[in-house]
Structure 1
């Protein structure tokens, strides 16, 4: 395939970065993003509205070791909290405690204090209070179990020694020594019984109950953000696996063709302006250096789409406004995109015709030779002949029309373009001179909007356009044609713009 276009930085779409590519895909599949986002917001709102309030009960434990600084107790408290919040230990604690269904619990501390706050959240206030106290009690007894066993063993040993000294005293042992030893053992037993080092104690069994209700605004905001993220991911995945060609990057990577211009949809003032500038950029590519004068420019698409006619009309109107004699020739026998339209006397003129109306024998098959001869006759009195070609994958003649034309513009419909037909069309154009490909959104907006925003890039009104239809190429028309043309308005008259001219 021969490419005659050169892509500049100004014409290249913003697909150089990964972020730009993904944003294009998200914009193309924006209905999917909107649907997922609305679903997430609605789900968040419904779940928040139907959710019941929750209650959090609290029980306070404390570690107080006589003769030790509070900072050392705070270190011990940190270890106790890590143990309480460990998932494996919480599962064990849940099994050993009678808790209401759905109860959640955790332990925390305040700064570097020696207090532990055991909190339990349940569906009722009574359930939350009882759960917090039961969890704190079980945790306390569980932590103190080892130390309690050691203390009991030490007390039993001291009591055994005390009983032995008392027995010896009754049997006549030295009273002074035995009595002193008995006093020492009783003192050790009292000290050991009163030792609370590293021991958890319940400071406040009921430290209050807090009620919390889900926030509608916060949950809806979370649902909105989550829906946007999920919708964007879904849009990117849909673009990767979709058979459509929604972005220029998809066209380039999946078909090997790099669109030189992208035409967005119309509608608002901003969109209409961007659409107009896109058509202008495309039309300027058909200048004298790219398309010789007189010359022929074919406008073709893989499948039938209104975008083909939109591109052909835009290029024809632009160069007619530049003062060139332009003929818009419809080679598609199934679709007529332009009807004759009159305007003011100062309007620029675009001549339009159907191929079948200009052939000597419309019933005979249209082949490359007859079409080449027709183009030669039209170029005799025209600077630029723009041919709206039938779909490349549907009409065998479309390939011939592109080959005999000086340059070809490949039109890709952003909404309905598919990978398979586009690849087939690119293969058919291998022996044609491709001016470039254009990705077009055929949606133009309402007719009222088009009338209101028919402006050029300086904000001035575009020149009115008059379409005049050519019925035949014969010089001797003796009757008024069916569309109202007068006898002297044969092909030469229309092409030259001078009444009475002859071919």
Structure 2
């Protein structure tokens, strides 16, 4: 059943290929049906002379005669001999239980079909009987030669005697056989009915459309499976286990409908539960990466952080893929921390997430090649910062095959989760990703199969329905009002904060019973001393700048 389900998924994912092939087949059937007029089929019936054979033997012989007639080169020779036009088609068959050969001639003219069937039957009979008589005559000639030898020998023998009697009996026997051959017509063809009638046939458009649709769907399904084999993608748990040796944690289906979205949400919750029950240290840091760039990486990382936060665990989503960030105008984030900016406002660094226990650190501004920023010591400082700010840090990592810095990220966390985009992930890329992770000494938590196609959420409403766009607009406005109210409460309590309280908030290591004060979190600034405290010391004992 799993193999059947995988095949169905392959076909469904390439449904446009199936639809195009089926549509072409239907259009071809329509064109053929409308362009073809009424055809006429004339019949002529031949039978086989049978004097000394069983009826079953004659039926088998009739099938052989029909097969001989349907041999196209032989048929063309008969057509030329009978002077029949090239646009007339012929086909021979046999009766159900009789020694009869039925020749059918099809043409767009009734009289032509009738006359052509009769002419072709006569040509076939004459040609076949001529060959049959030629073989019989050769056999008679051989017998006559033997008989003449006996007669010649009798001329030199006495009238009576043993040898004379033997020669006479032999000559008489040969003569009897000659007479039998001359009288026997077994196996010859003769015309039983020269014209057995003409049947008019009009094309059935409905039947042709049904057959074309069925054939097109079958052919399209075969083409879809062939494409799937050529693309060599990973789409199932068994394929991932066989090719990568990695267990699949869950499979995230695509969204789009209410039922699909509910199932998708349920699978994300199951994945977050698996992470919560995993044997991880607390605070914990996990990386989410994929072989190649896919939206599924961000979806999985966000879902884990969000649903763990819903259960009361402080989570931090770190978007460490700097390749898509702008060189300027981006809020402070990972790039700024790795560059060790001396004063970073937490209001800019740790943005509020969808829930109260979730914070998000964006990629930050990109300056040059992001590879130079991801050293082991710098990323270790970022991990230490995350451990102080949350109980679970989820790092959205660049694709492992495309970005060399991903090895540093995955090697610096507790566990790594490999995202397999079933719509784009190729087996070779996934194997290369596993090789790179193993090379870096990474411990895999497991794989996640995902189809990232879904309706756009609030942060990206392009391509969604008008109803969804309006709904997202109002949700965005309500979130903005809540954020404004939170900032007003922050300003009223900002005068009572001090650097010691700020450092204690960053060093929180257990899930608090109450959410952290919004005012303190919004006004917190990371000084160079705090960042230096989060970074490991260098070889000379000093903290890295």
- Normalization by structure 2: what TM-score? 0.63
Matches within 5 A, 1:185-334: 200-242=189-231, 245-246=234-235, 251-252=240-241, 257-334=246-323
1:56 Cα deviation from its structure 2 partner: 0.5
Q: How many residues align?
A: 420
Q: Counterparts of 2:92 and 2:467 in 1: how far apart (Å)?
A: 69
- Change in CA separation of 1:198 and 1:356 when aligned onto 2, cut-off 3 Å: closer
Match of 2:61 among 79, 104, 108: 79
Matches within 5 A, 1:415-454: 415-419=423-427, 421-430=429-438, 431-447=441-457
Moved more, 100-109 or 382-391: 100-109
- In the alignment, is the contact (CA less than 8 A) between 1:28 and 1:246 conserved in 2? no
- In the alignment, is the contact (CA less than 8 A) between 1:120 and 1:131 conserved in 2? yes
Matches within 5 A, 1:323-472: 323-335=312-324, 349-354=357-362, 365=373, 367-380=375-388, 382-419=390-427, 421-430=429-438, 431-447=441-457
- In the alignment, is the contact (CA less than 8 A) between 2:288 and 2:297 conserved in 1? yes
Corresponding residue of 1:119: 104
Moved more, 225-234 or 106-115: 106-115
- In the alignment, is the contact (CA less than 8 A) between 1:415 and 1:441 conserved in 2? yes
1:263 Cα deviation from its structure 2 partner: 1.6
1:73 Cα deviation from its structure 2 partner: 6.3
Q: Deviations over 1:251-288 (max 9, x none)?
A: 55555545432222111233223322332332222123
- In the alignment, is the contact (CA less than 8 A) between 1:21 and 1:249 conserved in 2? no
- Change in CA separation of 1:113 and 1:428 when aligned onto 2, cut-off 3 Å: closer
- Change in CA separation of 1:265 and 1:449 when aligned onto 2, cut-off 3 Å: farther
1:36 aligned onto 2:21: yes
Moved more, 128-137 or 74-83: 74-83
1:402 Cα deviation from its structure 2 partner: 1.6
- Change in CA separation of 1:298 and 1:126 when aligned onto 2, cut-off 3 Å: same
- In the alignment, is the contact (CA less than 8 A) between 2:297 and 2:419 conserved in 1? yes
Q: Counterparts of 2:16 and 2:109 in 1: how far apart (Å)?
A: 43
Q: Counterparts of 1:352 and 1:422 in 2: how far apart (Å)?
A: 28
Q: Counterparts of 1:294 and 1:335 in 2: how far apart (Å)?
A: 29
1:135 aligned onto 2:120: yes
- Change in CA separation of 1:294 and 1:449 when aligned onto 2, cut-off 3 Å: farther
Moved more, 209-218 or 88-97: 88-97
1:390 Cα deviation from its structure 2 partner: 2.9
- In the alignment, is the contact (CA less than 8 A) between 1:81 and 1:107 conserved in 2? no
- In the alignment, is the contact (CA less than 8 A) between 1:84 and 1:90 conserved in 2? no
SS in 1 for 2:26: helix
Structure 2, unaligned runs of 5 or more: 145-180, 332-349, 458-463, 469-477, 525-545
Q: Counterparts of 1:415 and 1:293 in 2: how far apart (Å)?
A: 35
Corresponding residue of 1:60: 45
Q: Counterparts of 2:444 and 2:479 in 1: how far apart (Å)?
A: 29
- In the alignment, is the contact (CA less than 8 A) between 2:422 and 2:449 conserved in 1? yes
Q: Deviations over 1:171-229 (max 9, x none)?
A: xxxxxxxxxxxxxxxxxxxxx99998776554443221111133223323332233233
Q: Counterparts of 1:335 and 1:281 in 2: how far apart (Å)?
A: 29
1:408 Cα deviation from its structure 2 partner: 1.1
- Change in CA separation of 1:236 and 1:248 when aligned onto 2, cut-off 3 Å: farther
Q: Counterparts of 1:97 and 1:104 in 2: how far apart (Å)?
A: 14
**Bigger relative contact order, structure 1 or 2, given CA contacts below 8 A and separation 6+?**
1
Q: Counterparts of 1:63 and 1:286 in 2: how far apart (Å)?
A: 84
Corresponding residue of 2:36: 51
- Change in CA separation of 1:260 and 1:39 when aligned onto 2, cut-off 3 Å: farther
Q: Counterparts of 1:145 and 1:122 in 2: how far apart (Å)?
A: 28
Q: Deviations over 1:108-155 (max 9, x none)?
A: 45443465433212232222111111022223334444787879xx9x
1:486 Cα deviation from its structure 2 partner: 7.2
Structure with the larger helix share: 2
- Change in CA separation of 1:83 and 1:484 when aligned onto 2, cut-off 3 Å: farther
SS in 2 for 1:22: helix
1:387 Cα deviation from its structure 2 partner: 1.6
- Change in CA separation of 1:366 and 1:83 when aligned onto 2, cut-off 3 Å: closer
